[in-house]
Structure 1
Amino acid sequence: MEKTKLNKLTDEQICFQLILHSGNARSKVIQSLREYRAGSVGKAEKLLVQAEEDLRQSHDIHFQMVQQEAGGKKQDVSLLLIHAEDHLMSSLTMKELVYELLEIFKDKIQDAPNRIEGR
């Protein structure tokens, strides 16, 4: 994906880019969990890789915003910006949680033959 250049966007467009990419990532993370549960491990892993790319885009936009503010360009705090920030942070949290859940599921699957044999 091409890097989003903030100097070509309005504040509202920047917020919507954050919402777009983090929302796409969140959808892919949830779908990966569903795919894993359905037994499609490869598809689940592919979705997580795609989600990481979306989150990288969001993080890059966010980092540019922080750099601009550190350089003296004050950011107006709007309800839209707060929503965009919330979207990004909840998507990052969800990603971490799903990664942990998948590890737990993998451990349970690996332990399943031992549990059956131990009966």
Structure 2
Amino acid sequence: MTKEEMTAKGFELVAYAGDARADYLHAIKLAKEGKFKDARAKVLEADQTLTKAHIAQTDLLTEEAKGNYSDLTLIMVHGQDHLMTTLVIKELVNTIIDLIERK
């Protein structure tokens, strides 16, 4: 994988994980407004976007396992950072919505 290709995959990670993160946080906002059905729909939307980030990550891992990669780029590291923080939010968002709903 060329450096340019790795950078492009890094941008995919940033974009998809960032969009999913925004949707998860928006779901919490919707729950705080009492819009629980909309909040849960937003979580499902975020899950679908996060899957796209995982696909980009899997592509990178596959290429690395084959020995087909270039130097690590800061964009790719930034994408991994976005993905990992979004995964933490994903783990918490349904619990947060449930807690808000119980109020």
Does residue 49 of structure 1 match 2:49? no
| Count of aligned residue pairs for this structure pair | 102
TM-score (norm 1): 0.77
% identity of equivalent residues: 25
Return the alpha-carbon distance in structure 2 between the equivalents of residues 104 and 24 of structure 1: 24
Larger radius of gyration: 1
Q: Secondary structure at the match of 1:50?
A: helix
Larger RCO (CA within 8 A; separation ≥ 6)? 2
Match of 1:112 in 2: none
Match of 2:94 in 1: 99
Return the alpha-carbon distance in structure 2 between the equivalents of residues 82 and 52 of structure 1: 21
Q: Which runs of 5+ in 2 are unaligned?
A: none
Q: Give me the CA root mean square deviation.
A: 1.9
* AA matched with 1:13: A
Return the alpha-carbon distance in structure 1 between the equivalents of residues 37 and 94 of structure 2: 14
Return the alpha-carbon distance in structure 1 between the equivalents of residues 70 and 45 of structure 2: 30
Return the alpha-carbon distance in structure 2 between the equivalents of residues 38 and 87 of structure 1: 27
Match of 2:53 in 1: 58
TM-score (norm 2): 0.88
Where has structure 1 moved over 6 Å in runs of 4 or more? none
Cα drift, residue 74 of structure 1: 3.0
